[in-house]
């Protein structure tokens, strides 16, 4: 386990990744239990999408001619919604688990999922508000490229398309780097409004976007590198299955990294300590859980040496002996 002094010290770029993997392997059972919950919808979505692409490539016109187009679109939309709901709530549960470990508790994956489910609407709405503009910013350049391909190629159209693509890339990067910490902010600080979580993320990321973005991009490219190695070693289909299974480990690592970066920025900017983080987590717990009697060996924030004040004497033993001797002397003088 990580000591309190070590836990609440500001981390460098390399120290952030060291903390992420240390947390992941220390509580491997908890994070993998949470990961399985939202890996299943992700696997269903990925397999359905790939199967739909393979099938659609062969009989795209026949499907749409027979009225199967809306059915395919509906199945894709349901898979995407299921994936979004499961992944967002799973990442919120991972954020709660990381914060619990920071204050010395030993969280359970079921408890973390229940607490993340309470904030499901704020988590899902914030994710849609963040990824909606990202989708539009990526769709606009693609539309312009197709439009330019259909119409005549000219220097003006090429220059205009290049400027729009650069503007969309810059805007998407600036937008995403400022709001990427919304999920851990909502889960840990128990924001009921997605806007408050997004504002909190924007506040913490201001001035630290390079640290936030480089950390998340480093993890993303690491996952892509391992996935490409699997494809090259095991071949096409088997390599694709291995890459999909590796996502089972990547999804919790992504959630842990976001939470560690979020907590690290709070430590550096606000000098957050164990008591402050404990107060945030207690506010997010139900009232019945705030007064629970946890085992001190399982909850690290309970003092190891405690006194039962019902059995503490009001005066010391030396004072008792001294008072008794004075009483006996007074009685002898009277006699």
Which of these, 265, 200, 226, 206, lies nearest to 13 by C-alpha position?
A: 265
Report the pLDDT value the prediction gives residue 295, as an integer from 0 to 100: 45
**Is 330 within a domain?**
no
Q: For residue range 232-284, what is the model confidence (pLDDT) as tens digits?
A: 888 777 877 888 788 888 889 999 999 999 999 999 999 999 999 999 988 76
Report the pLDDT value the prediction gives residue 299, as an integer from 0 to 100: 42
Angle ∠(109,112,117) on CA atoms, nearest 5: 125
Expressed as residue numbers, the domain containing 28 is 4-306
Report the pLDDT value the prediction gives residue 24, as an integer from 0 to 100: 95
CB atoms within 10 A of CB 294: 12
Q: For residue range 198-226, what is the model confidence (pLDDT) as tens digits?
A: 999 999 999 999 999 999 999 989 988 88
Domains of the chain: total = 1
Looking at the predicted structure, is the pLDDT value of residue 101 above 90? yes
Report the pLDDT value the prediction gives residue 26, as an integer from 0 to 100: 93
Report the pLDDT value the prediction gives residue 244, as an integer from 0 to 100: 78
**Is 49 within a domain?**
yes
Angle ∠(207,93,287) on CA atoms, nearest 5: 105
91 or 42: whose pLDDT is higher? 91
Phi-psi region of 271 (alpha: psi -120 to 50; beta: other; left: phi over 0): left
How far CA 252 is from CA of 64, 161, 266, 318, in Å, comes to: 38, 38, 21, 59
Report the pLDDT value the prediction gives residue 297, as an integer from 0 to 100: 43
**Is 45 within a domain?**
yes
**Is 325 within a domain?**
no
Q: For residue range 131-184, what is the model confidence (pLDDT) as tens digits?
A: 888 878 877 777 777 777 677 667 777 788 788 888 888 988 999 999 999 999
pLDDT band at 40 (very low <50, low <70, confident <90, very high): confident
Q: Extract the tokens encoding 79.
A: 């898979």
How far CA 287 is from CA of 86, 97, 116, 290, in Å, comes to: 26, 19, 16, 5
Helices 236-270 and 69-102: crossing angle, nearest 10°?
40
Q: Extract the tokens encoding 6.
A: 């070590």
Instruction: Tell me if 233 sits within 8 A of 239, measured CB to CB.
Output: yes
97 or 245: whose pLDDT is higher? 97
Place of tokens 């299921």: 82
Instruction: Tell me if 157 sits within 8 A of 145, measured CB to CB.
Output: no
Instruction: Tell me if 50 sits within 8 A of 243, measured CB to CB.
Output: no
Q: Extract the tokens encoding 65.
A: 């001619």
Lowest mean pLDDT among 32-46, 55-69, 88-102, 264-278: 55-69
Instruction: Tell me if 246 sits within 8 A of 227, measured CB to CB.
Output: yes
**Is 323 within a domain?**
no
Average confidence (pLDDT) over 185-210: 94
- Percentage of residues in the chain having pLDDT higher than 90: 38
**Is 317 within a domain?**
no
pTM to 2 decimal places: 0.76
Report the pLDDT value the prediction gives residue 97, as an integer from 0 to 100: 95
Lowest mean pLDDT among 26-40, 53-67, 228-242, 244-258: 53-67
The rounded mean pLDDT for the chain is 78
pLDDT band at 37 (very low <50, low <70, confident <90, very high): confident
Looking at the predicted structure, is the pLDDT value of residue 324 above 60? no
**Is 311 within a domain?**
no
CB atoms within 10 A of CB 71: 11
Please give, one letter per residue, the 3-state secondary structure of the chain.
CCCHHHHCCCCCHHHHHHHHHHHHHHCHHHHHHHHHHHHHHHHHHHHHHHHHHHHHHHHHHHHHHCCCHHHHHHHHHHHHHHHHHHHHHHHHHHHHHHHHHHCCCCCCHHHHHHHHHHCHHHHHHHHHHHHHHHHHHHHHHHHHHHHHHHCCCCHHHHHHHHHHHHHHHHHHHHHHHHHCCHHHHHHHHCCCCHHHHHHHHHHHHCCCHHHHHHHHHHHHHHHHHHHHHHHHHHCHHHHHHHHHHHHHHHHHHHHHHHHHHHHHHHHHHHCCCHHHHHHHHHHHCCHHHHCCCCCCCCCCCCCCCCCCHHHCCCCCHHHHHHHHHHHHHHHHHHC
């Amino acid at each position: 386990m990580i000591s309190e002094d070590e836990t609440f010290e500001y981390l460098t770029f390399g120290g952030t990744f060291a903390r992420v993997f240390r947390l992941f392997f220390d509580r491997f059972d908890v994070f993998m239990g949470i990961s399985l919950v939202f890996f299943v919808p992700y696997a269903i979505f990925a397999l359905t999408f790939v199967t739909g692409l393979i099938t659609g490539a062969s009989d795209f016109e026949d499907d749409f001619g027979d009225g199967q187009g809306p059915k395919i679109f509906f199945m894709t939309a349901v898979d995407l919604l299921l994936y979004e709901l499961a992944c967002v709530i799973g990442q919120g549960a991972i954020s709660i688990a990381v914060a619990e470990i920071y204050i010395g508790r030993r969280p359970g994956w079921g408890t973390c999922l229940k607490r993340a489910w309470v904030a499901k609407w704020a988590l899902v709405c914030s994710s849609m508000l963040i990824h909606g503009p990202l989708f539009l910013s990526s769709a606009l350049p693609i539309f312009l490229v197709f439009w330019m391909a259909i119409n005549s190629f000219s220097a003006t159209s090429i220059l205009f398309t290049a400027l729009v693509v650069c503007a969309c890339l810059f805007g998407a990067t600036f937008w995403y780097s400022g709001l990427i910490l919304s999920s851990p902010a909502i889960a840990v600080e128990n924001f009921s409004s997605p806007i408050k979580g997004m504002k909190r993320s924007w506040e913490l990321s201001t001035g630290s976007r390079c640290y936030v973005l480089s950390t998340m991009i480093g993890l993303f490219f690491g996952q892509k590198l391992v996935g490409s190695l699997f494809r090259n070693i095991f071949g096409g289909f088997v390599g694709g299955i291995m890459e999909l299974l590796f996502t089972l480990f990547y999804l919790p690592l992504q959630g842990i990294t976001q939470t560690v970066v979020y907590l690290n920025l709070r430590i550096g900017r606000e000098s957050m300590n164990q008591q402050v983080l404990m107060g945030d987590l207690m506010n997010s717990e139900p009232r019945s859980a705030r007064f629970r009697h946890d085992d001190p060996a399982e909850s690290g924030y309970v003092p190891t040496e405690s006194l039962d004040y019902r059995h503490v004497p009001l005066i010391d033993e030396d004072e008792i002996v001294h008072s008794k001797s004075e009483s006996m002397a007074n009685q002898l003088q009277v006699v």
